[in-house]
Amino acid sequence: MKIKKLHILIILSVIFFFVYSSIYFSVRPGAMENDMWIFNTPDETANFFFIEKLAKENTLKYYEPLNEISGDLNLVRPRSTTVVNNHIVPGSFLGFLLVMGVIAKIFSSWLIPFIIPLFSVLAVICFYFILKKIFKENVAFLSAILLLMTPAFWYYNSRSLFNNVLFIDFLIIATWLLFRFFDSKKKNLLIFSGLLFGLALSIRVSDLVWVVILVASIFIYQRKGIFWRDWIIMMVSVFLSFLPVLLIQNNIYGSPFVTGYTPSIGESLSGGSFYFNLIKQVFAPFGINMINAFSNFYHFFVAMFPFHFWLAFLGGVLIAYRARIKSLNKKEKYYFVVAIIISMFVMIYYGSWIFFDNVFGSPLIGSSQTRYMLPIYILSLPFISYLVNFVSLKIKFNKAKNIFVLLFVTIFLYFSANIVLYEGQESLYSVKNTIIGYHQINKQVRELIDDDAVIVTSYNDKLFFPARKIIFYWNEPRFLDNISLIVNKVPVYFYSIDLDNDINYITDNSTLNTELILKINERENFLKLHP
């Protein structure tokens, strides 16, 4: 019996769900022993905390009484949070927290790390169906398989407390529903598509412009038989699914247009600069710098994933050549143009600012830029598949063709697995070992301190929050003055990563005294602060 391509894809998707989730299974023993999940970044830590808080307590904010002592400084809070009206609130897009929190509430909080891999499995299937309408089935099938193995997609499915992959998942599923609508003209499909596009944008509203380009390009291509009411249904559906986020943002941040990433915009609400800030935030939050954009493109695509880039480049050249000699159908040509336009926009939009958000100060797969460039990686996959399919058609024997394609997929998987699992300081293997080490430190420290203790730490809040309260601003005299007041109320400890310099700074700039209570390793020490 001949196995259908869809069945193969479903089987592979299920397998990759467990591959994506394996890091959580490997660190679960430590999480169960310490009764808390520990993550590798403050963003993941804060996201998990607020998702779980929404699922269990129906809120996305909390009051910290110790901040009454620190006044306007609001020192007692972890990173990736902000303070509004004396409440600690998310420092991120709320849509992601709302979607994840609602799902966790309906099912269970234990599902939180696995929600995004589940949606990604569905998105890969939808990706296959979308591309089947544009390219030959072989190209669609291979592209969907490659999506499962694309390094950034794989990596951020495994570190599933970032919002980028869920945004992509909803976008792919919404696009598939839109294609289904054009085939059937069933309005319910258009409504569900609009609702999912709205949810996607609520998760990452910063990607609004290129999503509008995508949706508009689809409507323009399908303009025959499309009426204004279809546009209106789509826009109303998008707005309705986005509306809860606007209402909750207004409740939490004081404006429907302010997010945890952009709290300062709220200061301009009463002035004319608000609209300028809003437009700048939508179209060019980092400005426009082509040199930086191409530099980021080089570091986070050409140099980081050379096997992917060069195959996509050669596939793009082949598609451009076949378009010139008129050997390309209209749909393929249209996809090529739209993919290039969106990729250029994403490259300029996110690449115009050069920064490194890791302690190593170098381009790594765990850098923000790899998440931001996910649309570029994914849109380029059909270029690779088109090239592979073109070459395979030159092979005479079917068995030899299948061996060629299987060999290519195996090589692609090898390169992807190597960079995702083992290459660099932020590979999944390194992250797993780091988190296991964090759980050991967490256990050591929590055995020594009281439940109401506060820990002062610049970078290691993720080890202890929310089991213990955190202060991460400390290295200014005014912060130490306020910490001195808190020391009089509750036990306060200091996590040092540079013992001599930290002690000297504290004693020179405050009345606090330090006591070494635990030497964690050669570099890290745990101190108690005394009045």
Q: pLDDT (tens digit, 9 = 90+) per residue, 484-496?
A: 999 999 999 999 9
Do the domain assignments include residue 284?
A: no
Would you say residue 70 has pLDDT above 80? no
> In the predicted model, what is the mean pLDDT of the chain?
89
Do the domain assignments include residue 437?
A: no
Q: Please tell me the predicted confidence (pLDDT) of residue 1.
A: 40
Do the domain assignments include residue 277?
A: no
Long-range contacts of 335-338 (CB under 8 A, 24+ apart): 335/134, 335/135, 335/382, 336/383, 338/213, 338/214, 338/217
Confidence of residue 277 (pLDDT cuts 50, 70, 90): low
Residue span of the structural domain in which 479 resides: 447-530
Confidence of residue 142 (pLDDT cuts 50, 70, 90): very high
Please name the amino acid found at residue 112.
I
Do the domain assignments include residue 164?
A: yes
> Residue for token digits 């306060």?
492
- Residues 363 and 114: their CA atoms lie apart, in Å, by 27
- Beta strand 525-530 with 513-519 is antiparallel
Confidence of residue 261 (pLDDT cuts 50, 70, 90): low
> For residue 433, how many C-alpha atoms fall within 13 Å in the half-sphere facing its CB?
7
Question: Model pTM greater than 0.85?
Answer: yes
- Cβ–Cβ under 8 Å, residues 347 and 375: no
Q: What is the mean pLDDT of residues 19-43?
A: 87
Same structural domain, 157 and 42: yes
Q: Please tell me the predicted confidence (pLDDT) of residue 282.
A: 66
**CA distances in angstroms from 430 to 154, 155, 418, 507, 530, listed in the order given:** 15, 12, 12, 36, 36
Do the domain assignments include residue 276?
A: no
Tell which of 215, 240, 271 closes a domain: 271
Same structural domain, 413 and 525: no
Q: Please tell me the predicted confidence (pLDDT) of residue 269.
A: 42
Would you say residue 266 has pLDDT above 50? no
Number of independent structural domains in the chain: 3
Confidence of residue 358 (pLDDT cuts 50, 70, 90): low
Do the domain assignments include residue 435?
A: no
- Residues 330 and 335: their CA atoms lie apart, in Å, by 9
